């Protein structure tokens, strides 16, 4: 998996800097590991490790109300935790950018990841979130850039679903 993630996290980081992201919240995830490291190393970015994903939705609202831009990093298994909380930014037209590493797709080993992995897009769209899916590593950064523009220019909740095929399947080792 390390080889599969080399490159795109650095490109996404550059896009987040270009988009003026100052706050980053995340639930620790190997798929976002390198991106989280880059954000944590930037003194101009405040990073917050969350206990649950819906805290990141609230943090995004607070960042916007305080004049800053925010991104929420999470795995698809945590999307279900955000659904009720997404009502606030969606109804109030507060921009929310979410980057979601997918599980339950390409070569998944864990059957518990399948339900949310298969239902992530539908769940987000059902509550009014705009969704961009990307399965090619070389298109991840440009998709994040487009999503950031959409979110911050139109006041929308936008999620980029980074496919398991692009980040590489996780392997279970004993």
All domains of the chain in start order, with CATH:
2-167 (3.40.50.970)
CB within 8 Å of 95: residues ≥ 6 apart: 60, 64, 69, 89, 151, 152, 154, 155, 156, 157, 158
Measured N-to-C along each axis, helices 8-18 and 33-41 cross at an angle, to the nearest 10 degrees, of: 40
Q: pLDDT of 77-97, one tens digit each?
A: 999 999 999 999 999 999 999
Mean pLDDT to the nearest integer, 144-170 = 93
Would the pLDDT of 131 be above 80? yes
Q: Supply the pTM of this predicted model.
A: 0.92
Q: How confident is the model at residue 3 (pLDDT cuts 50, 70, 90)?
A: very low
Record the tokens describing residue 126, joined without a space: 């059902």
């Amino acid at each position: 998996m390390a080889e599969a993630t080399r490159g795109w996290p650095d490109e996404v980081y550059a896009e987040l800097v270009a988009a003026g992201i100052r706050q980053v919240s995340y639930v620790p995830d190997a798929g976002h590991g390198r991106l989280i490291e880059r954000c944590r190393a930037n003194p101009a970015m405040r990073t917050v490790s969350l206990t649950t994903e819906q805290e990141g939705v609230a943090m995004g609202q607070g960042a916007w109300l305080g004049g800053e831009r925010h991104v929420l990093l999470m795995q698809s298994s945590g999307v279900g935790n955000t659904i009720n909380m997404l009502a606030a930014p969606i109804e109030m037209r507060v921009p929310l950018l979410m980057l979601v590493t997918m599980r339950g797709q390409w070569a998944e080993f864990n059957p518990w990841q399948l339900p949310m992995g298969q239902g992530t897009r539908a769940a987000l769209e059902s509550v009014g979130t705009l969704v961009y899916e990307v399965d090619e590593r070389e298109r991840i950064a440009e998709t994040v850039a487009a999503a950031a523009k959409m979110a911050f220019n139109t006041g929308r909740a936008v999620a980029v679903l980074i496919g398991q095929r692009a980040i590489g399947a996780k392997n279970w080792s004993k």
